[in-house]
Amino acid sequence: MKVSESMLRCLFAIIYYSSSYGSTALQLKTIYCTISESCECAFKPDVQGLEWDLYKNLYGQHLAQEIVSEAVVGFLQKDNPDMPLVLSFHGASGTGKTFVTSILGRHLYGAAMSSPYIHQFIPTLHFPLLDRVQEYRSALKRWVEGNLTACARSIFIFDEMERMPPGVIDVLVPFLGPSHVVFQTNYRKAIYIFISTAGQEVINKLALETRQAGKEREDIQLGDLETSLAQAVFHNKNSGFFQSRIISEKLVTCLVPFLPLSRWHVNRCARRELCQRGQCQRRDIVEAVGSSLTYTLENGQFFSNTGCKLVPAKVNLFL
């Protein structure tokens, strides 16, 4: 006899709510998700909120705004996606890469990074030793499998990929392709986000050339960068994707370039920081913060070396 979805839900609800122990409930939930293949965990996507937040709060990143919005919306429209969503964020420090992941977490799980279904890996913390690659590979595989069995809509974030020992990340290749459904666990509903500074030279160079040519940064298209960025990441020994099949087999849905931020963007970050502290009117501090940072690129003194990263610390200093 084939157990219907509604019977399964009913049965699960009875057992789940009669269980007084959290861990038992979690195990039952895992079993339910495995059998039903429809487990959405606490997934509560708010697509409009996501688009609005990116538009309003992410400064100077028209490519990231467009690419992330379109990719996520397109992915969520499919009940049964044929591949997981794999995004790879690239760009200089302090340009908003980690910031965008927290915006995503907030609008997909309503809980920023504290959701149990959002898993963040930081190589220096989780994969620190170069001679343990095999061990890390097995652990990572088990971890991803286990979490996808518990929640098909899990989000995996790999920050600071440039510090990932080469070889570790390719253990994910089977999960990222189109064909991975094992024992009814659907591996295609997951979202993977890789973050690194790899490829920043390529992005920064184009941003500078665009400015020198008197054009707007918004004139930069993904097509102007995509191939050179993928090559830079693939050939860079310190990208975490060095000679990775994830790149050569084109398993990344979208490469997302983050452009370097100018003084104008830094001032906006400072203004927002001050407003959050109820000090919106302090223009003198906005100017002081902007002046205290270092900017590169010839006499133009244009792009902030640290993006907006040091802004809160500088506001503390001057306030």
Contact residues for ligand ADP (CB under 6 A)?
Answer: 57-61, 93-99, 261, 269, 307-309
Residue 118 Cβ vs ligand ADP, minimum distance, rounded to whole Å: 16
CB 207 within 8 A of CB 62: no
Residue 58, contacted partner among ligand ADP, Mg ion, none, CB below 5-8 A by kind: ligand ADP
Minimum distance from residue 272 beta carbon to ligand ADP (Å) = 7
96 interacts with, out of ligand ADP, Mg ion, none, CB within 5 to 8 A per kind: ligand ADP
What single DSSP character describes residue 224?
G
> Residue 121 has which token pair?
């890996």
Burial of 114 (0-12, 13-18, 19+ CB in 10 A): exposed
CB of 212 to ligand ADP, least distance (A): 22
Tokens of 176: 């990222």
Q: Cβ of residue 221: shortest distance to ligand ADP, in angstroms?
A: 18
Q: At 128, which amino acid appears?
A: P
Is the distance from CB of 123 to CB of 240 less than 8 angstroms?
yes
Are the C-beta atoms of 311 and 272 separated by less than 8 Å? no
Q: Binding Mg ion by CB under 5 A: which of 95, 98, 147, 306?
A: 98
Which tokens in the block code for residue 178?
């189109």
Site membership for Mg ion, residue 186 (CB under 5 A): no
Give me the residues paired with residue 255 across strands: 88
Q: Least distance in Å: CB of 50 to ligand ADP? A: 15
Sequence length of the chain is 319
**Based on CB atoms, which residue is closest to ligand ADP, 13 or 313?**
313
Nearer to Mg ion by Cβ, of 150 and 310: the residue is: 310
Q: Which residues bind Mg ion (CB under 5 A)?
A: 97-98
